[in-house]
Amino acid sequence: MSATRSAVSKQPVTRGTSQQVPFVWEGTDKRGVRMKGEQAAKNANLLRAELRRQGITPSLVKPKPKPLFGAAGSKISAKDIAFFSRQMATMMKSGVPIVGSLEIIASGHKNPRMKKMVDQIRTDIEGGSSLYEAISKHPVQFDELYRNLVKAGEGAGVLETVLETVAAYKENIEALKGKIKKALFYPAMVMAVALIVSSILLVWVVPQFEDVFKSFGAELPAFTQMIVAASRFMVAYWWMLLFVLVGSIVGFIFAYKRSPSMQHGMDRLILKVPIIGQIMHNSSVARFARTLAVTFRAGVPLVEALDIVAGATGSSVYEKSVLRMRDDVSVGYPVNVAMKQTNLFPHMVIQMTAIGEEAGALDAMLFKVAEYFEQEVNNAVDALSSLIEPLIMVFIGTIVGGMVIGMYLPIFKLASVV
C-alpha cells in the first residue's frame, strides 16, 4: 500500500500571464509514493513541467477553489501583511536580526493564522532559506510583486529599505481599496433601503388600507389598484421572492468568482457607470502607477515589472491593457507609446510618463501620477458621500410618498363625491 504525504515545492520562475495563482496538485514521486500539495504558478502546464522537473508525475493539477464567501475564521488580510512589513522594516532598521524580528511579530500577533505563518517563515529561515524563499511558500499572502521586491532587496543588501517601501505601498493600496468599497457601498445602500421600506409598506401597511377600501364599495383608482395588487402578491409569495433574491445573489457571486469572462464584462460595465466609473478609472490608474513605480525603483526589469503590475490594477480591463503594453515594450516601444496604444489611459498620464522616460526619472514621475489620481479618488468619494445622503432622502421620500398618495386617492375621491 502506498503512503500519502503532503508537499509544498519551491516556486518555479516562469512568465506568461499577469500573475501567479494558487493551484492544488496530486501526483507520485519516482518511488511511487502519492503526494499532494498547493503551489502558485502562472498556469497549469507550467506547474506540471515544474513538478516533473522535481521528479513528481502529476495526476491532477487544478486551480485552488475559491470559497464562496471567503475563508471562515480569522483569515490573513492584506492589512495584516502591510503591518507585518512595517514591523519587519522598523525592527531590522533598529538592528534586530531577521529571525528575532519574526519571533517578536509571531509572539505578539492575535491572529492565529498569521502567527502560524510567521512561525513557518522563521523556521524556514533558521533552516537556511532566504526570506524570499520562505515567503514563496505562501503565495496567496505574498503576491508576486511582494516576492520580487524582497528578492531584489536581499540581492542589493537593502532588505529593510525595501520592506519599508512595500509597507508604504500596501498601506496606500489598502487605503485606496477602502475608498473604492465606500464608493460602491453607497448605491447598494440606497437600493437596499428602498427595497426594505417598500417591502414593509406593501406587506404590513397597504393590507390595512385594503380592508378600509372594501367598505367603500366603489371602484378604486388605477394607481391604487396597482399598489394593492403588488401588496397581495408580496403577501402571498414573499417566500418565493426572498428565495429568488437570495438565490440570484448567491448564483451571481458563484458565477462571478469562477468566470473570467463574466468578471471582464462586469469590469467593463462598471467603468461606464456615471461617477462610479470615473472613480474606478482613477483608482486603476493610481494602482498601476504606484505599483510600476515601486517595482521599477526596486530594480525589477521593466517588462517583468509590467507583467507583475497587470494583476495589481484591480480591473481586468486594465489588466489586459497592461499585458498588451508589456508585449509592446518587450519589442522596443517606449512605455508612453505602449500606453497610448491601449486607448485607456488619460492624456496627462501618457505625457507625464513620456517626460519621466526622457528625463530618466520614470519612477519619480509615476509616483506623482499615483498621488494625483489617489487624491482624485478621495475627492470623488467624499463628494459622492455628501451627495448620497440627500439623494437617499429624496429616493425614499418618493417611494413612501407615492404609496401614501396611492392609498389616500380613494379617500379623496370619496370626499369629492360626497
Q: Which domains does the chain have, with CATH numbers?
A: 4-63 (no CATH), 78-171 (1.20.81.30), 175-418 (1.20.81.30)
Please tell me the distance from the alpha carbon of residue 12 to that of residue 333, in angstroms, as a whole number.
28
Closest CA to 85 of 33, 149, 24: 149
Residues in the chain: 418
Cell numbers of 294, please? 515601486
How far apart are the C-alpha atoms of 170 and 78, rounded to whole Å? 7
| Inter-residue contact 184 to 380 (CB < 8 Å) | no
| Residue of 230 and 55 predicted with greater confidence | 230
Measure the CA–CA gap between 92 and 85, rounded to whole angstroms.
11
Q: What is the pLDDT of residue 26?
A: 85
Q: What are phi and psi of 290, to 5 degrees?
A: -65, -40
pLDDT at position 131 is 92
Q: Which of 99, 152, 202 is nearest to 308 (CA)?
A: 152
Residue 244 pLDDT level (bands cut at 50, 70, 90): very high
Max avg pLDDT among 69-73, 161-165, 351-355: 351-355
Query: What is the C-alpha separation between 305 and 334, in angstroms, rounded?
Result: 14
Cα–Cα distance, 50 to 11 (Å, whole number) = 9
Of 370, 373, 342, 338, give the one whose Cα is nearest residue 354.
338
Q: What is the rounded average pLDDT of the residues 157-169?
A: 85
Q: What is the mean pLDDT of the chain?
A: 82
In this predicted structure, the answer to whether residue 46 has a pLDDT above a threshold of 80 is yes
The dihedrals phi and psi of 70, each to the nearest 5 degrees, come to 90, 165
DSSP 154: H
Task: For the chain, state the CA radius of gyration.
Answer: 28
Q: Is the pLDDT of residue 7 over 50?
A: no
* The predicted structure's pLDDT at residue 10: 37
- pLDDT surpassing 50 at residue 183: yes
For the segment 336-348, the average pLDDT, to the nearest whole number, is: 94
pLDDT for 376 equals 92
Q: CA–CA separation, 229 vs 235, rounded Å?
A: 10
Q: Residue 190 pLDDT > 80, yes or no?
A: no
- pLDDT exceeds 50 at position 159: yes
Number of alpha helices (DSSP H) and beta strands (DSSP E) in the chain: 16, 4
Give the torsion sign (CA, 142, 144, 150, 151): positive
- pLDDT, residue 20, reads 64
Position 217 scores a pLDDT of: 67
| Dist. CA 348–CA 292, nearest whole Å | 17
CA dist 237 to 143, 224, 242, 250, 283, Å? Answer: 47, 20, 9, 20, 42
Q: Report the percentage of the chain scoring pLDDT > 90.
A: 23
Express as a percent the part of the chain with pLDDT over 70: 91
Q: Are 165 and 294 in contact (CB under 8 A)?
A: yes
Q: How would you label 181-205 residue by residue, b for 16+ Cβ within 10 Å and e otherwise? A: eebbebeeeeeeebeeebeebbeee
Torsion sign (Cα): 332, 337, 340, 346: positive
Q: For residue 59, what is the enclosing H or E element?
A: strand 57-63
DSSP state of 117: H
Find the mean pLDDT for residues 202-218: 77
The answer to whether residue 121 scores a pLDDT higher than 80 is yes
| Amino acid letter for position 292 | L
The whole-angstrom separation of Cα 173 and Cα 159 is 21
More confident residue, 354 or 177: 354
User: Is residue 41 classed as helix, strand or coil in its secondary structure?
Assistant: strand
pTM strictly above 0.75: no
Q: Which three cell numbers stand for residue 39?
A: 503551489
Enumerate the β-bridge partners of residue 25. Answer: 37, 61
Residues 145-164 have a mean pLDDT of: 84
Question: Smallest Cα–Cα separation from 278: which of 383, 190, 366, 197?
Answer: 383
Per-residue pLDDT tens digits for 48-105: 888 888 778 888 888 877 654 444 445 888 888 988 988 898 888 888 899 999 988 8
pLDDT band at 19 (very low <50, low <70, confident <90, very high): low
Report, as an integer, the average pLDDT of 294-298: 86
pLDDT, tens digit, 9 for 90 and up, residues 302-321: 998 898 888 888 888 999 99
d(CA 217, CA 25): 73
- Give the pLDDT band (50/70/90) at residue 298: confident
Q: Mean pLDDT highest for which of 64-73, 188-197, 408-417?
A: 188-197
